[in-house]
Chains A and B, each alone.
Chain A
Amino acid sequence: MAAPRIVVVGAGPAGTRAAEALVSSGIRPVVIDEAARSGGQIYRRQPPNFKRGYEKLYGFDAQKALGLHQCFDGFGDDIDYRPETSVWNVRDRKLYTVCRNRSGEVEFDAAIFATGATDRLAPVKGWTLPGCFSLGGSQIALKAQACSIGKRVAFFGTGPLLYLIAYQYAKAGVDVAAVIDTSPFANQAKAIPLLAARPSLLARGLYFRAFLASKRIPVHSGARSVEIVGSDRVRAVIVRTAGKTFEIETDAVGTGFHLRSENQLADLAGCSFLFDHLTQQWRPNIDQDGRTDRAGIYLAGDGARILGADAAETAGRLAAIGAMRDLGLPQSEDEIRRLRRQMQRFERFRKGLLVAFPWPEALAREATDDVLVCRCEAITVGSLRQTAVHEDALELNRAKAFSRVGMGRCQGRFCGSAAAEIVAAARDVNLADVGRIRGQAPIKPFPGGIDEEVAA
């Protein structure tokens, strides 16, 4: 029998460990990654001519980052590595790719999508001003380009990344004006029993808070709303908490509310989705090993469910082992049980994070009509509300068709969570009932001018 054709999409923690498990079983997978170098986002590498060491770049996670990069670099010819390549569609066990200006196709018996996540965003007034970046973007500027997003930076949002990135900026010597968290401080105390599933990460979170305090960086918890003000660039943020409203001068804002999965390929492959009440988001329906309900399609890492980088490594291994077992290649049952137990611990911690840092639904629901919900085409919250009511758009894809919110070039990645809240609130229905924006190929815009691959 010919060796099964297994393809891994993504070369972050999940994709790297999936490839490692496949290689160690004698399979030569195709590994497709958008980036020029492996690592994904959290372990993103700096350009080769940068000189900073791992300790400086990855802090507490330096050894993990090094281990993951060395693992990938060690594959050599054991994998068919295709960097700088985007998968833009999947159909009938075939992936459609584009690399620079060249299109391509990859047929597979099993595909593991380890496509990661982006920041989950909520629209606030002024969030399209130059100087406002996502939290993930703020971190990339620092790690991959050795730049700060501004001279004096405020961070606004919620979730573990908010504190991690504020800490990284402060440690790099940047003037951090404030950390503004929509989650009430009491939630974080309430979450401690669940967060104790991973004591070292809990300790790290507490350390970040203590570090910010030691630098006298104000942390405002329980923010009700934020407005970013300025003319053609960020000048200040106006913060409203339960008791007061105040202004903080700043020339840059990093914002984000935890993460959302990049799950468009699972969607295009026809995998079913379920509504996750903890995150208030739809996600692909997978079993404990990452199997979807479509034969041959597996998901691993934050692209399936937001569990973080450590869980992504475990999930990558599990998905690869599951795929090989389904193809009739015997796997160690002890190893499967061990990895599944690890995933249970990560799942408990995930629940803790969601108690500590809930998605602030009110931010979108109560946004004023003049706020831009769609960054791509500058469409206002008011326009979307009008559509929901007057075009009888009770369902998100109908609202998208009439308002164009979600139809722009980010394809709903940065407006989707908020758009669902706005439509649900305008029509007074449950969030789950408005559905989710369907994935459409190509899942990212093409560069101009693609050459078709012509069979010789």
Chain B
Amino acid sequence: MEASQRQLIRLGETNRQEVIVVVDGRNVGALEGDTLLTAVLVQAGRLRVSEFGDGSRAGFCLMGACQDCWMWTADGRRIRACTTFVAPGLSVLTYPKEGVWPLPE
């Protein structure tokens, strides 16, 4: 995750407790009160790769309705990044473990 690729820009409220989350196996510094979407997109340009082969996605509605911001937990569960708040120990993947649709034979 390169800083130059970041999508969201913090405008304030930066005096908060740091929380470390794990994205694709790498530690990412977030702030308490960040959603997972915020924590990822202030440092990166995407949340996930579309399972349907049309490229990267970074969320859309931010209110839990469009389901565009699904990420995967290390044990394969899906979570909505826009309605999940960061917490210590949270570990997510930006891609589905089983691969992108259509799955190889």
The reply to whether the CB of A213 lies closer than 8 angstroms to some CB of chain B is no
Contact between B5 and A233, CB atoms less than 8 A apart: yes
Contact between B60 and A146, CB atoms less than 8 A apart: no
Contacts of A445 in B (CB 8 A): 67, 78
Contact between B8 and A136, CB atoms less than 8 A apart: no
Contact between A147 and B61, CB atoms less than 8 A apart: no
1/0 per residue, CB under 8 A from B, across A132-143: the answer is 111011001110
The reply to whether the CB of A130 lies closer than 8 angstroms to some CB of chain B is yes
A50 touching B33 in the complex, CB below 8 Å, given contacts A132-B60, A232-B46: yes
Instruction: Jot down 28 A-B pairs with beta carbons below 8 A, ordered by A.
Output: A36-B85, A41-B63, A46-B13, A48-B33, A49-B17, A51-B13, A51-B15, A118-B66, A128-B55, A130-B56, A131-B45, A131-B58, A132-B60, A137-B60, A141-B38, A148-B9, A151-B9, A232-B46, A233-B56, A251-B7, A375-B60, A376-B68, A408-B67, A409-B67, A410-B67, A444-B64, A447-B79, A448-B76
Contact between A147 and B11, CB atoms less than 8 A apart: yes
Residue ID in chain B nearest A44 by CB atoms: B63
The reply to whether the CB of B91 lies closer than 8 angstroms to some CB of chain A is no
A52 touching B12 in the complex, CB below 8 Å, given contacts A376-B67, A378-B54: yes
Contact between A150 and B78, CB atoms less than 8 A apart: no
Question: A147: which of B9, B17, B47, B80 is its contact (CB, 8 Å)?
Answer: B9
1/0 per residue, CB under 8 A from A, across B1-40: the answer is 0000101111111011100000000000000111100100
Give residues 126-175 of A contacting B (CB, 8 Å). Answer: 128-134, 136-137, 140-142, 145-151, 172-174
The reply to whether the CB of A34 lies closer than 8 angstroms to some CB of chain B is yes
Contact between A118 and B42, CB atoms less than 8 A apart: no
The reply to whether the CB of A107 lies closer than 8 angstroms to some CB of chain B is no
Q: Give the Cβ gap from B16 to chain A, nearest Cβ, in Å.
A: 6
Among A147, A409, A410, the most chain B Cβ lie within 10 Å of the Cβ of A147
The reply to whether the CB of A449 lies closer than 8 angstroms to some CB of chain B is yes
Binding site for A on B (CB under 8 A): 5, 7-13, 15-17, 32-35, 38, 42, 45-47, 50, 52-68, 70, 76-80, 82-83, 85
Contact between B60 and A134, CB atoms less than 8 A apart: yes
Binding site for B on A (CB under 8 A): 34, 36, 41, 46-52, 118-119, 128-134, 136-137, 140-142, 145-151, 172-174, 232-233, 251-252, 262, 372, 375-378, 408-410, 413-414, 444-445, 447-449
Residue ID in chain A nearest B37 by CB atoms: A145
A150 touching B56 in the complex, CB below 8 Å, given contacts A118-B61, A130-B45: no
Contact between B11 and A148, CB atoms less than 8 A apart: yes
Contact between B68 and A232, CB atoms less than 8 A apart: no
Contact between B60 and A133, CB atoms less than 8 A apart: yes
A414 touching B16 in the complex, CB below 8 Å, given contacts A141-B8, A147-B38, A372-B54: no
Contact between B65 and A146, CB atoms less than 8 A apart: no
Contact between B45 and A150, CB atoms less than 8 A apart: no
Contact between A131 and B13, CB atoms less than 8 A apart: no
Question: A378: which of B12, B53, B58 is its contact (CB, 8 Å)?
Answer: B53
Contact between A147 and B33, CB atoms less than 8 A apart: no
Give complex CA distance A445, B56 in Å: 21
Give complex CA distance A151, B6 in Å: 10
Among A51, A145, A174, the most chain B Cβ lie within 10 Å of the Cβ of A145
Contact between B38 and A145, CB atoms less than 8 A apart: yes
Q: Give the Cβ gap from B94 to chain A, nearest Cβ, in Å.
A: 11
Give complex CA distance A140, B8 in Å: 12
A34 touching B11 in the complex, CB below 8 Å, given contacts A232-B45, A447-B77: no
Residue ID in chain B nearest A138 by CB atoms: B62
Give complex CA distance A46, B58 in Å: 21
Give complex CA distance A172, B11 in Å: 8
